[in-house]
């Protein structure tokens, strides 16, 4: 058996383990270790296992992950983001489907302090879905809106997916954040227009809300958003103006969230404890998967698999856009059965060299990967955001109804993906503008 054939067997075994529901991080580490041991020697394999995790975990850039996670968890537990939906509701309720549009805007605001699709869906689902149903919205429409809106959390900075992509692909994280802003805004506006159009064509989906008199509270509701605005302006104003790096931005954000909660009188040591425990748990899980992905990259390089794949594509000489189309199709399929971080880290060691060979920007590809993996958060059988909303709403509706509710948003997301491929400039405009 040649080294290439053995590499293919190892990759097939890896996917088999994952389909059998073995932990992704453990599967990555085990297969990579066996691959290196059999391809070169077990001494090299044990050497990689002893040195690479420490080298990867000691990365300065990686320290931004726990700080941004802590910022999001702490803001949630101290209810600093509570006023986001209320403010959006007060200002947007007169629009057709106004409460659903408010949930989209609320998720977009919450995304700026959490960086997590699941966290956005869970937080907004608890607040927005009961409010919409109480005002006569169709339950599937309400739940579908909340589940889809959560995906904005991975697009608007600080996105944990983008941070991990930047580390693996060696791409500047601040540029990824800038590219994500434009696609996050396009997604937010696209979702809002879709909701308004559907509510206009079928008023039974979202009848006008009986919220007269709310205009008097508009200014008060807007004032309640100041904690989030202060944190966002402090973090990203300093980041994009060059005062501090993406890594330092996470520390600034975590510190600001604590200071703002103290100013508002909402600070508590219980919130600190819960945010710290959740941060440690999430960071540990991410590290195990990321270390496994790094070992897989080492195995593919040492076995010559990456070189063979690149040579095969040079001989085949496909159109660069055909390469991107094939990659997107792979992500759409694996996104149906894997959560985004695992799917991304599992495939980047194979896809990043192909994208670089095809001449595409790694910044553009990073935003494209983030967007397509978020589509997987809405598609069966493992649409994570759908199941998060199902846990929130309980017996109010079935999982099938929620999947039905997100279908129009999935179709719109596929259109946005096509737009990103056809017009890469909409992703790269802000990174190029700030870079110059």
What mean pLDDT comes out for the span 179-204? Answer: 94
Q: Does 172 fall in a domain? A: yes
Kindly tell me the burial class for residue 212, based on how many C-beta atoms sit within 10 Å of its own C-beta (0-12, 13-18, 19 or more): exposed
Mean pLDDT of 194-221: 78
pLDDT of residue 209: 67
Q: Above 70 in pLDDT, residue 100?
A: yes
Contact 252, 238 (CB under 8 A): yes
Distance of CA 281 to the CA centre of its chain: 18
Instruction: Select from 126, 176, 128 the least CA-distant residue to 154.
Output: 176
Task: Write the secondary structure of 73-100 as one string of H (helix), E (strand) and C (coil).
Answer: HHHHHCCCCCHHHHHHHHHHCCCCCHHH
Q: Do the domain assignments include residue 23?
A: no
Q: How far apart are alpha carbons 346 and 343 in whole angstroms? A: 5
pLDDT of residue 210: 63
Total domain count, the chain: 1
| Helices 24-39 and 340-358, packing angle to 10 deg | 50
Within a domain: 244: no
Do 312 and 44 contact (CB within 8 A), yes or no?
Answer: no
Q: Residue 233 domain-assigned?
A: no
- Token digits of residue 78: 């101290």
How confident is the model over 129-182, as pLDDT tens digits? 888 888 889 999 999 999 999 999 889 988 889 998 998 888 999 999 999 999
pLDDT at residue number 193: 96
Confidence band, pLDDT 50/70/90 cuts, at residue 436: low
Question: Ranked by mean pLDDT, which of 232-236, 380-384, 401-405 comes out on top?
Answer: 401-405
Residue 350 lies in a domain: yes
Q: What is the DSSP letter of 268?
A: -
- Whole-structure pTM value: 0.87
Is residue 25 assigned to a domain?
Answer: no
Q: Which two tokens stand for residue 270?
A: 């219980």
Are 235 and 249 in contact by the 8 Å Cβ rule? The answer is yes
Residue 180 forms part of a structural domain: yes
What domain range includes position 349?
A: 83-223+307-435
What values do phi and psi take at 339, rounded to 5? -75, 155
pLDDT score, position 56 = 78
Q: pLDDT averaged over the chain?
A: 86
> Residue 312: its pLDDT value, please?
80
Residue 435 has what pLDDT? 66
pLDDT (average), residues 371-389: 87
- Mean pLDDT of all residues in 6-29: 86
Q: What is the pLDDT of residue 217?
A: 64
**Quick one: average pLDDT of 184-212?**
89
What is the rounded distance in angstroms from the CA atom of residue 81 to the CA atom of residue 94?
Answer: 23
Backbone phi and psi for residue 272, each to the nearest 5 degrees, phi listed first: -65, -45
Q: Residue 212's pLDDT is what?
A: 56
Residue 227: pLDDT over 80? yes
**Considering the domain boundaries, does residue 77 fall inside one?**
no
Identify the top-confidence range among 57-66, 135-144, 214-223, 373-382. Answer: 135-144
Q: What is the pLDDT averaged over residues 365-374?
A: 95
The gap between the terminal CA atoms of the chain, to the nearest Å, is: 51
């Amino acid at each position: 058996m040649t080294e290439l054939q053995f590499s293919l067997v190892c990759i097939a075994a890896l996917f088999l383990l994952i389909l059998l529901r073995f932990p992704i991080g453990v599967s990555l580490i085990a297969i990579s270790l066996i691959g290196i041991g059999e391809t070169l020697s077990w001494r090299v394999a044990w050497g990689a296992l002893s040195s690479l995790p420490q080298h990867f975990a000691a990365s300065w850039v990686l320290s931004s992950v726990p700080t941004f996670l802590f910022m999001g968890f702490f803001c949630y537990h101290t209810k600093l983001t509570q006023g986001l939906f209320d403010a959006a509701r007060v200002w947007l309720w007169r629009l057709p489907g106004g409460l659903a549009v408010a949930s989209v805007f609320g998720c977009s605001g919450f995304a700026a302090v959490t960086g997590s699709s699941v966290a956005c869906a869970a937080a907004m689902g608890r607040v927005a879905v009961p409010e919409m149903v109480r005002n006569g919205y169709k339950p599937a429409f309400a739940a579908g809106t909340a589940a889809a809106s959560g995906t904005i959390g991975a697009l608007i900075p600080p996105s944990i997916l983008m941070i991990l992509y930047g580390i693996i692909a060696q791409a500047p994280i601040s540029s990824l954040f800038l590219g994500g802003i434009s696609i996050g805004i396009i997604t937010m506006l696209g979702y809002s227009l879709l909701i308004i159009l559907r509510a206009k064509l079928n008023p039974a989906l979202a009848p006008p809300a009986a919220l007269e008199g709310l205009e008097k509270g508009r200014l008060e509701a807007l004032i309640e958003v100041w904690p989030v605005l202060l944190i966002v302006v402090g973090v990203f104003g300093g980041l994009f103006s060059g005062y501090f790096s993406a890594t330092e931005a996470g520390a600034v954000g975590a510190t600001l969230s604590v200071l703002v909660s103290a100013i508002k009188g909402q600070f508590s040591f219980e919130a600190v404890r819960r945010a710290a425990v959740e941060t440690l748990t999430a960071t540990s899980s991410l590290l195990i998967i990321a270390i496994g992905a790094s070992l897989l990259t080492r195995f593919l390089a040492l076995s010559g698999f990456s070189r063979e794949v690149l040579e095969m594509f040079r001989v085949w000489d496909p159109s660069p856009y055909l390469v991107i189309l094939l990659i997107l199709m792979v992500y759409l399929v694996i996104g149906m059965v894997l959560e985004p971080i695992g799917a991304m880290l599992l495939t980047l060691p194979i896809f990043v060299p192909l994208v670089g060979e095809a001449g595409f920007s790694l910044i553009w590809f990073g935003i494209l990967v983030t967007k397509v993996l978020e589509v997987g958060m809405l598609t069966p059988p493992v649409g994570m955001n759908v199941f998060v909303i199902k846990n929130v709403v309980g017996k109010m509706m079935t999982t099938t109804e929620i999947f039905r509710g997100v279908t129009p948003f999935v179709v719109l997301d596929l259109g946005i993906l096509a737009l990103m491929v056809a017009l890469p400039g909409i992703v790269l405009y802000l990174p190029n503008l700030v870079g110059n």
